[in-house]
Structure 1
Amino acid sequence: MALTLSKHDMKPQPGDLIEIFRGPYQHWAVYIGDGYVVHLAPPSEVAGAGASSVMSVLTEKAIVKKEELWDMVGTDQWKINNSLDEKYEPRPVHVILREARALVGKELPYCIFRGNCEHFANELRYGKAESRQVRKAGEVAMVAGLATVVGLGFVALAGALFGGSKKENKNTQ
């Protein structure tokens, strides 16, 4: 279950997923203890700036970084979010931490749709690379696309019904 607490109340445990709210999207990290997180970030990102740069979606490579939680979060809102615990069994904490630490400094392929920071964090915690942001965005795009198709269908239907009658009127006069 997701928690939203004040800065002073938040006490993540090693292996917890941290969701950081960065405007239109969320950035994700894994808490590894002692005030540090591991996260997947574009190489151009500077510490504390977060993944808010345009480069975070345009790059094909990303670096696994270890940073202090407060430096990485900056002034953004954040919460502990292990909500996929309801769907998947979390891996043992020592496995999450071992793998997270082993990946620090490595360059990994990055794709906003198939390999973003949320995929990375969920893969560490659950062994499943999943991104609810991408799934939600896909659902919104599908609904918007369907609405566009339906809207175009109505325009075409109206054109056929009302456009054709003008033509017929010209022919009968």
Structure 2
Amino acid sequence: MKSHLKERSLRSPRPLLSNPRPCVQTHSRTQLFPGDIVEYPRNKYFSHFAVYYGERDGVAYVAHLTCRDSDSKLPLFGRALRSEVKLDPLELLGKKYKVSNMLDDSFSVRDFYGAVKPDIDQLIGRQLTFDILFHNSEHQATLLRYGVKKSQQIERIYAHIQPAWKNLFEEKQL
């Protein structure tokens, strides 16, 4: 996977923001740096994730995986065939957010300008498949920052469900 990402980043993408730079959010005192994972809590169980891209004309931007079929709130069976990575203003996704570089202790952080930004530039507008279990916004954000697809929120839910499934299989009810 990493070689594929490097291969894509060798192409010369058209820059989306001329000079991405850090953003300081005064209302929440959160300082963001390009490449940071931004978490937007949605409810008790799930959050939406994005990668901080930089600032242009005083507006902070994030890249995130989103369903293009915005009229369908819940994708069928947790999948939406028409999804894409979009670049949107930071606060368009929500006023409440936090930096969530949750895997920094486990994985190497990829260089923003050498790897992450070129990958984001290549992904903008390309059709991707959203899958709540295997390719959600958290998977996309960790793939960009670390080069590894991980979703801790799905892993937490799976940890609760897996023992019940195991029992049903052992009892031959599934």
**TM-score, normalised relative to structure 1:** 0.72
In structure 2, the residue matched to 1:8 is 28
Alpha-carbon distance in 2 for matches of 1:79, 1:7? 12
* Structure with the higher fraction of residues in strand conformation: 2
Q: 1:55: how far off?
A: 3.3
SS at match of 1:37: strand
Q: How does 1:144-163 map to 2 (within 5 A)?
A: 144-145=164-165
SS at match of 1:110: strand
Render the CA deviation track for 1:82-129: whole Å, top value 9, x for unaligned. 020000010011111121122111111221111111111100000001
Q: Percent identity?
A: 27
Q: 1:69 to 1:139 in 2, by over 3 A?
A: same
Number of residue-to-residue matches in the alignment: 141
In structure 1, the residue matched to 2:90 is 69
In structure 2, the residue matched to 1:159 is none
Unpaired segments ≥5 residues, structure 1: 47-51, 153-173
The answer to whether the 8 Å contact 1:38/1:101 transfers is no
Alpha-carbon distance in 2 for matches of 1:97, 1:62? 19
The one of 25, 47, 51 equivalent to 1:30 is 51
Runs of 4+ in 1 over 6 A off after TM superposition: 147-150
**TM-score, normalised relative to structure 2:** 0.71
In structure 2, the residue matched to 1:111 is 131
2:125 aligned with 1:100, yes or no? Answer: no
2:98 aligned with 1:82, yes or no? Answer: no
Q: 1:144: how far off?
A: 3.8
